Amino acid sequence: MSDDPVARFRGLPERIDSDPETVQRDLMRLVLTIIELVRQLMERQALRRLDEGSLTEDQIEALGTGLMHLADAMRELRERYGLSQEDLNLDLGPLGSLLGE
Amino acid sequence: MTSTSLTGSSGPPASGSPQIALVDLLDRLLGAGVVLSGDIVIALAGVDLVEVRLRALIRTVRDDDDDEVTA
Amino acid sequence: MAERGRYLYAVCRDLDVESLGDLRGLGDRPIESVESHGLVGLVSSVDLDEYGEAGLRRNLEDIDWLESTARGHDAVVQAAAAVVATAPMRLVTIFNDDAGVRRRLAERFDRIHALLDRVEGHEEWSVKVLTRAPDPVAESTVAAGSGAEYLRRRKQDQESRESEMRDAHLVAERVHDALAAFAVASRRLAPQDPRLTGHTGTMVHNAAYLVPRDLSDRFSAAVGEVVAEYREVQLDARGPWPPYSFAMLEEE
């Protein structure tokens, strides 16, 4: 195997070959990746609504609090399973990379 | 033909590796950008059980948006 | 089984195959040539269980096989391009026999000559521009604070990311204009995933430039100038390479 980043990178595995001992941890990475995707989409949508000026002060507070708690919860879950933010990134091919720009 | 690299970047050091980076070579030789797939097969105890097509899942979410979601 | 085919690496003009010396092809296979009216196709014999449709479907998913094949292919292209005008083929262009190769050379005769005319005496340079910001942006850590504050802080993060991206794109255009002045052609390529390239930052520009050999020093000097002038971005310029982005013979 070469040193080249392409050859070294495995990212999301093409197969998750689990056994009863490791299945929980293996699936958590997949599950957290999807939750992170949804969380980011929710956050973008909230910011879009903020821009539009269509939210009341109460709604802004409620949305912000909810998203903040969600971000904290995600961080905790990641730490518990030893996953970095990068580990949860997904490349969607023509749709581009999900996290970051 | 030696390859030199002129870089003001913090990328991988190119001096001492004059060959073309594999990603650049594959982009050109395959005629498509090299991308990483999001499809996963989940097996348990050696038995394939589930195939997850993450691209399809995400398209569904985006189709529900009124506005364009920029990736 | 063990049906055989011919793997075509590239088509050259006025090539004396002897000048390639003891160059070997994929998996140390010998290089042979198939000629047609002054055009020379460089080929190796391959087994179709590895390079036929079924074999390729399997092997193209195998990054180690892909790497080894791309490097072997590139070694032949580079050796040829160092001596004569060369039109590389896409990876894994296979023919049943030499007659098939000869047929292709005859059918695409005009197109091949046009490509070779274009790149003769020229080289390809790759230039990428990336932001300096780490990617992806880490969440602002929130100890305490209201929901509204969180949302506004996320908004600020988003805005500064967007503003950085806009600036980086503008710089990329200026870099492009400065370098294209020394090129006869340029081609934009898709930005690459940093996980594959080892870069930090986001790639906002990925282009190939076709530079006349006698302008390559001036091109390099221009690269040095833009690196010095636009310190807010990362610039990664490499070359000279064979003109992959300008002379590849496509399937019709």
Q: Would you say residue A47 lies in a domain? A: yes
Domain contains A71:
yes
Q: Which of B13, B8, A50 is nearest to C152 (CA)?
A: A50
Q: Are A90 and A12 in contact (CB under 8 A)?
A: yes
**Rounded distance, CA B20 to CA B22, Å?**
6
- pLDDT score, position C62: 82
For residues C115-136, give the mean pLDDT: 88
Residue B10 and residue C198: Cβ atoms within 8 Å? no
- DSSP, res A3: S
How many domains does chain A divide into? 1
Q: Where among C57, C90, C119 does a domain terminate? A: C119
In a domain, B60, yes or no: yes
The pLDDT of residue B71: 39
Parent domain of C162: 122-247
Residue C46 near residue C65 (C-beta atoms within 8 A): no
Q: Which residues of A touch C139 (CB under 8 A)?
A: 71, 75, 85
Instruction: Point out the domain boundary residue: C73, C103, C119.
Output: C119
Binned at pLDDT 50, 70 and 90, residue C238 comes out as: very high
- Rounded to the nearest integer, the mean pLDDT of chain A is 76
Count of the separate structural domains present in chain B: 1
- Residue pLDDT, tens place only, A47-76: 888 888 888 898 899 989 999 999 999 999
More confident residue, C227 or A84: C227
What is the band of C11 on the pLDDT scale with cuts at 50, 70, 90? very high
Q: Tell me: the pLDDT tens digits for C220-232?
A: 999 999 999 999 9
* C252 falls within a domain: no
DSSP string, C54-65: HHHHHHTT-HHH
**Span of A17-26, C104-113, C130-139 with lowest mean pLDDT:** C130-139
> Which of C154, C155, C156, C167 is the best residue to mutate to test the A interface, defined by the most A CB atoms within 10 Å of its own CB?
C154
Burial of C230 (0-12, 13-18, 19+ CB in 10 A): buried
Is the bond preceding residue A5 a cis peptide, omega within 30 degrees? no
Residue A32 lies in a domain: yes
Residue where one domain finishes, among candidates C100, C119, C138: C119
pLDDT tops 70 at residue C55: yes
Euclidean distance between CA atoms A3 and A9, whole angstroms? 10
pLDDT above 70 (res C142): no
Residues in chain C with CB shorter than 8 Å from the CB of A68 are 142, 145, 147, 150
Report if residue A89 sits inside a domain: no
> Residue B54 has what pLDDT?
57
Residue C156's pLDDT band, with cuts at 50, 70 and 90, is: very high
Q: Is residue A99 part of a domain?
A: no
- Domain span at A27: 23-83
Domain around B44? 37-66
Mean pLDDT of A28-35: 84
- What is the residue-wise DSSP string for C174-226? HHHHHHHTT-SEEEE-----HHHH---S-EEEEEEEEEEGGGHHHHHHHHHHH
Residue B47 within any structural domain of the chain:
yes
What are the b/e assignments for C37-51, b being 16+ CB within 10 Å?
A: eebbbbbbbbebebb
What pLDDT score does A100 carry? 43
What are φ and ψ of residue C8, in 5° steps? Answer: -100, 120
pLDDT value at residue C198:
80
Chains that touch C (3 or more CB pairs under 8 A): A, B
Q: How many domains does chain C have?
A: 2
In a domain, A62, yes or no: yes
Alpha-carbon gap, residue C178 to B2, rounded angstroms: 24
pLDDT value of position A98: 47
- Tell me the ipTM for this assembly: 0.83
Closest listed residue to residue B28, CA positions, set C88, C57, A58, C154: C88
Whether residues C67 and C128 share a domain: the answer is: no
Cβ distance A23 to B43 under 8 Å? no
Residues C147 and C194 in one domain: yes
Beta-carbon contacts of residue A79 (< 8 Å; ≥ 6 apart): none
Q: Is residue C89 part of a domain?
A: yes
Question: Would C131 be classed as within a structural domain?
Answer: yes
Q: Are residues C97 and C185 in the same domain?
A: no
Task: Assign residue C223 the CATH number of its domain.
Answer: 3.30.70
* CA dist., res. B57 & res. B61, Å (int): 7
The region of weakest confidence among B48-57, C88-97, C175-184 is B48-57
pLDDT digits (tens, 9 = 90+) for C20-39: 989 999 999 999 999 999 99
Q: What band does B67 get if pLDDT is binned at 50, 70 and 90? A: very low
**Chain C closest CA to B43's CA: distance in Å?**
19
Instruction: Kindly state whether B31 is in contact with chain C, defined as any CB-CB distance less than 8 angstroms.
Output: yes
pLDDT given for residue C217 in this prediction: 95
Report residue A44's pLDDT band, with 50, 70 and 90 as the boundaries: confident
Instruction: Examine the pLDDT at B16 and tell me if it is beyond 50.
Output: no
Domain assignment present for residue C230? The answer is yes
DSSP 3-state assignment of C146?
coil
Q: What is the structure's pLDDT at C5?
A: 94
Flag whether residue B71 sits within 8 Å of chain C, measured between CB atoms: no
pLDDT at B12: 46
What does the alpha-carbon distance between residue B45 and residue C128 come to, in Å, rounded to a whole number?
A: 45
Q: Is residue C242 included in any domain, yes or no?
A: yes
Q: Say whether A101 and C202 touch across the interface (CB within 8 A).
A: yes
Mean per-residue pLDDT over chain B, rounded: 58
- Residue by residue, DSSP assigns chain B as ---EEEEESSSS--TT--SPPHHHHHHHHHSS------EEEEEETTEEEEEEEHHHHHHHHHHT-SSPPP-
Same-domain status, C127 and C114: no
- In terms of domains, do C106 and C157 share one? no
Identify the pLDDT of residue B68.
45
Write down the pTM of the prediction.
0.78
Per-residue pLDDT band for C64 (boundaries 50, 70, 90) equals confident
In whole angstroms, what is the distance from residue A56 CA to residue A62 CA?
10
Across A83-97, C87-101, C119-133, C194-208, least confident range: A83-97
> Can you give the pLDDT at residue A15?
66
Backbone phi, psi, residue C211, to 5°: -115, 130
C132 DSSP assignment: S
C192 touches chain A (CB under 8 A): no
Determine, yes or no, domain membership for A61: yes
What was the pLDDT predicted at B10?
46
pLDDT (mean) for C124-150: 75
User: Do the domain assignments include residue B29?
Assistant: no
| pLDDT greater than 80 at residue C70 | yes
